[in-house]
Amino acid sequence: MTSTPFDTVAAKGRAQSSTRVRTTDMKAVGEPNLWAFGGALAFGCVMILGFLLLVFWNGVTTFWPKPLIVVTQADGARVAGEPFRAEAFRPGPEVLATLDPATRKVIADDGGLASRSLYRIGNYDIYNEDFRWVSDFSVTDTATPSGMMFIERLEWGPFIGRIQGVTIDDQERPALVGDRAGLAAAHDAARARWRQIRHIERNLIGDINHRLESERLAVRRIAIRQGEGTPEHTAALQRFAETEKVLQAEYAKLAADAQALKAEDARTRITLAEIGGAEKTINLSSVVRMYPANDLDLMGKLAVYASRWWEFVSDEPREANTEGGVLPAIFGTFVMTLLLVVVVAPFGVITALYLREYAKQGRLVAIVRISVNNLAGVPSIVYGVFGLGFFAYVLGGSIDGLFFPERLPNPTFGTGGILWASLTLALLTVPVVIVATEEALAAVPRSMREGSLACGASKWQTIRNIVLPRAMPGIMTGVILAMARGAGEVAPLMLVGVVKLAPELPLDGYFPFFHLERSFMHLGFHIFDVGFQSRNSEAGKPMVFVTTLLLIGLIFIMNISAIVIRNRLKRKFAGSQF
Amino acid sequence: MVRNSTILAAAVAAAIAAPASAQTLDPALKDYKQVSGVSGSIKSIGSDTLNNLMTLWAEGFNKMYPNVKVEIEGKGSSTAPPAMVAGTAQFGPMSRPMKSAEIDAFEKKYGYKPSAIRGAVDALAVFVHKDNPIQCLSLQQVDAVFSKTRKGGTNKDAATWGDLGLTGEWASKPISLYGRNSASGTYGYFKEVALFNGDYKDSVKEQPGSSTVVQAVASDKFAIGYSGIGYATADVRPVPLSSKTGEKCAPANAAAAYSGDYPLARFLYIYVNVNPNQPLDPVRGEFIKYVYSKQGQEAVLKDGYFPVTQAIAQEDLSAKKLM
């Protein structure tokens, strides 16, 4: 670089100006610090925004219907599927040896690099793989032909191919193959029948099974209390036999109904053909959703998109959590966080009140305070171990022995459950509430307390009417922080009650309605499970983003509502002070 | 190792010719028939390899008996025996047979041994990146790659891909090792069979789950790792293996697993607490029957493992007096 006269002048000017600045000390102005702080803030914001955008973008696009591409390869093999992702790679010498010279030259000109695309080909029952890489140099033709269907099934994942035939009530109906509206109507009818079967099996038969089980437990309870062979036990056994007979009759009737419906259901079938021609006939009712991916207009795509989201938030998971929805996980996360708040708020506030208002400020209180602060720094998995050892095994084990002996050796409370999980998280987050509450109490001016006491109010009246209302916004902030931490925590939960599959929600229609002993599903664990435990991690990746988006959304909503409640309270107490 | 695969081969080949194609069920397997009066709860704690399969079984079983509560946890085979001894789980899926110490602990508590059912066949696969050209590995080579003690009899450590016979850009590249954590039954089985009870190298990166191993290999071009065949994706390739250097390598598929040619074929077990002097309660009995039914073994296919035959089903069911 050559230096021009202009550069020299400019450099001189800079030198002069910098000497001028140095006359007032840099440190005193604080300019570099300001830049450092501002830069750190900006960096943090960019990181958070980038993370949110990444999750949001990947989550939002997952359910959007993609076109189905049919790729014809040089050897005549055809692959049909959704394009998933593409990458550049360096074909090895053994791959290059199989190619013709022209292709080899193209690859060599590109510096030895070629590209390939991953297609989601579905049809796992036929191919035994659901994704396939296709090297771009082997492709002779790509097309998006009309009539290619993407068919989501209850089992075996999606089917990609064409509809070959439709049979309704054992009558072949070739007209329906091309008639989308007619097929949709037939599909709706089949799905309605499927839901009816599910209703009978799950709700009606489930009810009978539930009654049977509680009767059986009642007999066992009598056997344990009164001893086997006693008159009470014999009478109970007799009663049980009678009830069982009645229930069995009901069961037989319902089972016959379900069987008849199933037989009817099996008469409505759809025959599908994959791109190579292999055919597969399945019940129409086992098709969750089907759409001609290449013939959809914007409205059609939006409809598919909306219906997929609705299924995701309102349905139960299928196929080892890789498909279907996450309703049980949403519900589990929500209930657990609520329970956590119910436990942590009173405990934290009472502790802080005692520490700040009643306890004599001495060495002991200082030690307690330090311990509380240190509790906040203990790794969460340690709480998980404590929760499992103390809550589940010790507490839960004794509860089982005292109250549920008839269910042993199957543990009721003696294993992880939503109550123990909430209590463990409450322990984990209670320091946050204590510290926040103490700060809030300390911020109430001394003059106000003294005024109240001078007016003749007792200490408790002062706390109740003067101190607590003033401190309430601060306390609420602590509770919100505790909630935010608790809702996002997963590690300790894995030990105390979160499971991959919990078929029953902790809340249902059977007495006592709230089943605190049940294991539950959690969105955070669901993310871990789908991303790192599912059979096909490739298919799991998009679901990870969707579930993450949902978890962030859920925590956001819970925090926002807590903040709104806090602001309401603030206004209310602000008005009632004078 | 020889013991394991011969037992497996013998068991499968004994009564019925092994299924010809890789993906068919033994036609002798029976359809599952619903019975009445089944309710209660099932809790399963154990293998991560079997985690998805247990879930699929549970989903299918739940379809039959909507009010049976099935809960599943899968954090490694070693978590199964303590959970069964403590009584927190009725089923303990394990990807390796129980050790005698574990059986003793169980027997001390209950007075009888736990029963094992063989629910599926797995070909424990050695995965490499999809671009890796390696065609065949003997167990001795695998041992040289993964083990620092090399009890398999090779005296040369395999640190680079060149040591395994690859040329070109691969020759000088170090092998990046991935494996399972020590709670895993897969870890134990691989150590016993492929490492000839030797010790793993310290450089093996231990992963918490079967799928994590596959994902790690998929994102690392020079990696090698072992995991259940059911977790294979398009980004990795299972390497054909032979039990001795110089022998023909067998691919990790159903036929080779059944015939015993594939040296890392193994049964996947589910341990159950069955008191031999009492009838098995209906929930557990029906669940076992479901596992051995056509529907149950179809779930095995769905999860990427290989189904067992009716002969095995018969043997295990009659041992539990369920047939």
Q: Which ipTM did the prediction report?
A: 0.77
Q: Does position B18 have pLDDT exceeding 70, yes or no?
A: no
> B92: helix, coil or strand?
strand
A75-79 CB contacts, 8 Å cutoff, 24+ apart: A75/A138, A78/A275, A78/A276, A79/A119, A79/A121, A79/A132, A79/A134, A79/A275
CA distance B152 to chain A (A): 30
Backbone angles phi, psi at A111, to 5 degrees: 75, 30
Cross-chain Cβ contact A212/B304 below 8 Å:
no
A86 and A145 assigned to the same domain: yes
Q: What is the pTM of this model?
A: 0.82
B55 and B106 assigned to the same domain: yes
Q: Does position B20 have pLDDT exceeding 50, yes or no?
A: no
CB interface of A with B, residues 99-158, below 8 Å: 118, 124-125, 128-129, 131-133, 155-156
pLDDT of residue A427: 92
In a domain, A554, yes or no: no
CA distance B16 to chain A (A): 24
- Helix axis angle, A327-353 to A298-314, nearest 10°: 50
Cross-chain Cβ contact B168/A155 below 8 Å:
no
Confidence of residue B167 (pLDDT cuts 50, 70, 90): confident
Could you report the per-residue pLDDT of B33-78, keeping only the tens digit for each? Answer: 877 767 777 888 888 888 889 988 988 888 888 778 788 888 788 8
Cβ-based contacts of A414 with chain B (< 8 Å): 87-88
DSSP A65: P
A152 and A173 assigned to the same domain: no
A131 and A189 assigned to the same domain: no
B197 and B308 assigned to the same domain: no
A260 and A378 assigned to the same domain: no
B155 and B205 assigned to the same domain: yes
Cβ-based contacts of A280 with chain B (< 8 Å): none
User: Which CATH number belongs to the domain containing residue B217 in this structure?
Assistant: 3.40.190.10
Q: How far apart are CA A162 and CA A290, in angstroms?
A: 11
pLDDT of residue A27: 65
Q: Which of B242, B263, B284 is the last residue of a domain?
A: B263
A272 and A360 assigned to the same domain: no
A266 and A352 assigned to the same domain: no
In a domain, A106, yes or no: yes
Candidate from A255, A318, A534 with C-beta closest to B52:
A534
In a domain, A112, yes or no: yes
Domain total for chain A?
A: 3
Q: Which of B263, B278, B295 is the last residue of a domain?
A: B263
B50 and B161 assigned to the same domain: no
Structural domain containing residue B141:
125-263
Q: Does position B254 have pLDDT exceeding 90, yes or no?
A: no
Q: How far apart are CA B65 and CA B59, in angstroms?
A: 10
- Taking the Cβ of residue A213 and every Cβ of chain B, the question of whether any pair is shorter than 8 Å is answered with yes
CA distance A168 to chain B (A): 24
Cross-chain Cβ contact B70/A501 below 8 Å:
yes
Structural domain containing residue A143:
69-156
In a domain, A320, yes or no: no
In a domain, A365, yes or no: yes
B112 and B215 assigned to the same domain: no
Of the residues B23, B25, B34, B41, the best mutation for testing chain A's interface (the one with the most A CB atoms within 10 Å of its CB) is B41
Q: Does position B223 have pLDDT exceeding 90, yes or no?
A: yes
Q: Does position B225 have pLDDT exceeding 90, yes or no?
A: yes
A355 and A439 assigned to the same domain: yes
In a domain, A267, yes or no: yes
Nearest CA in chain A to B76: A533
B63 and B129 assigned to the same domain: no
B290 and B197 assigned to the same domain: no
Could you report the per-residue pLDDT of A216-250, keeping only the tens digit for each? Answer: 888 888 888 888 778 888 888 888 889 888 988 88
Confidence of residue B3 (pLDDT cuts 50, 70, 90): very low
Cross-chain Cβ contact A133/B304 below 8 Å:
no
Tokens of residue A355, six digits: 């520490």
Cross-chain Cβ contact B131/A248 below 8 Å:
no
A76-79 CB contacts, 8 Å cutoff, 24+ apart: A78/A275, A78/A276, A79/A119, A79/A121, A79/A132, A79/A134, A79/A275
B216 and B253 assigned to the same domain: yes
Q: Would you write out chain A's pLDDT as a tens digit for each of its 578 residues? A: 444 555 554 555 454 555 555 566 666 667 788 889 999 999 999 999 999 999 999 999 999 999 999 999 888 888 999 998 898 888 888 788 888 888 888 888 888 888 999 999 988 888 888 899 998 888 888 999 988 999 999 888 899 999 988 998 888 888 888 888 889 999 999 999 999 988 888 888 878 878 887 888 888 888 888 887 788 888 888 888 898 889 888 888 888 898 899 889 989 999 999 888 888 899 999 999 999 989 889 999 999 999 999 999 998 888 778 888 899 999 999 899 999 999 999 999 999 999 998 988 889 999 999 998 888 888 889 999 999 899 988 998 888 888 888 777 677 788 788 999 999 999 999 999 999 999 999 988 889 899 999 999 999 999 998 898 888 888 888 898 888 888 888 889 988 888 887 767 787 777 777 888 888 889 999 998 888 878 788 888 888 999 999 988 888 888 888 888 888 877 776 655 44
Contact indicator for A426, A340 with CB cutoff of 8 Å: yes
Q: Number of Cβ pairs closer than 8 Å across A and B? A: 138
Candidate from B131, B233, B301 with C-beta closest to A538:
B233
A280 and A212 assigned to the same domain: yes
Candidate from B68, B72, B233 with C-beta closest to A499:
B72
B218 and B312 assigned to the same domain: no
Q: Which of A105, A130, A156 is the last residue of a domain?
A: A156
Cross-chain Cβ contact B51/A504 below 8 Å:
no
Domain total for chain B?
A: 2
- A5, with CB counted inside 10 A (0-12, 13-18, 19+), is exposed
Question: From the CB of residue A247, how many other CB atoms can be counted at a distance below 10 Å?
Answer: 18
A506 and A358 assigned to the same domain: yes
Question: From the CB of residue B75, how many other CB atoms can be counted at a distance below 10 Å?
Answer: 21
A357 and A457 assigned to the same domain: yes
Candidate from B63, B90, B230 with C-beta closest to A535:
B230
A288 and A359 assigned to the same domain: no
Backbone angles phi, psi at A344, to 5 degrees: -75, -35
B74 and B167 assigned to the same domain: no
Q: Which of B263, B294, B309 is the last residue of a domain?
A: B263
Q: What is the mean pLDDT of residues B139-162?
A: 87
In a domain, A52, yes or no: no
Of the residues B166, B211, B268, B280, the best mutation for testing chain A's interface (the one with the most A CB atoms within 10 Å of its CB) is B211
Which is more confidently placed, B319 or A146? A146
Could you report the per-residue pLDDT of A536-558, keeping only the tens digit for each? Answer: 888 888 889 999 999 888 888 88
User: Which CATH number belongs to the domain containing residue A451 in this structure?
Assistant: 1.10.3720.10
Contact indicator for A327, A315 with CB cutoff of 8 Å: yes
Confidence of residue B21 (pLDDT cuts 50, 70, 90): very low
Candidate from B43, B59, B74 with C-beta closest to A415:
B43
- Taking the Cβ of residue A439 and every Cβ of chain B, the question of whether any pair is shorter than 8 Å is answered with no
Cβ-based contacts of B133 with chain A (< 8 Å): 92, 94
Cross-chain Cβ contact B302/A124 below 8 Å:
yes
CA distance B134 to chain A (A): 11
A150 and A176 assigned to the same domain: no
Cβ-based contacts of A535 with chain B (< 8 Å): 52, 211, 230-231, 303-304
Cross-chain Cβ contact B71/A499 below 8 Å:
yes
Amino acid, single-letter form, for residue A169? D
Cβ-based contacts of A127 with chain B (< 8 Å): none
Q: How far apart are CA B285 and CA B33, in angstroms?
A: 13
Cβ-based contacts of B210 with chain A (< 8 Å): 533
Could you report the per-residue pLDDT of A331-373, keeping only the tens digit for each? Answer: 999 899 999 999 999 999 999 999 998 988 889 999 999 998 8
B23 and B108 assigned to the same domain: yes
Q: Which of A124, A156, A188 is the last residue of a domain?
A: A156
Q: How far apart are CA B311 and CA A513, in angstroms?
A: 46
Q: What is the mean pLDDT of residues B77-87?
A: 87
DSSP A413: S
Burial A40-66 (b: 16+ CB within 10 A, else e): eeeeeeeeeeeeeeebeebbeebbebe
A415 CB-near residues (< 8 Å, 6+ apart): A392, A396, A497, A519, B43, B88
Q: Does position B9 have pLDDT exceeding 60, yes or no?
A: no
In a domain, A488, yes or no: yes
Which is more confidently placed, A408 or B218? B218
Candidate from A213, A408, A535 with C-beta closest to B303:
A535
Of the residues A127, A385, A537, the best mutation for testing chain B's interface (the one with the most B CB atoms within 10 Å of its CB) is A537
Sign of the C-alpha dihedral computed for residues A523, A524, A525 and A527 taken in this order: positive
B54 and B85 assigned to the same domain: yes
pLDDT of residue A422: 94
Sign of the C-alpha dihedral computed for residues A402, A405, A407 and A411 taken in this order: positive
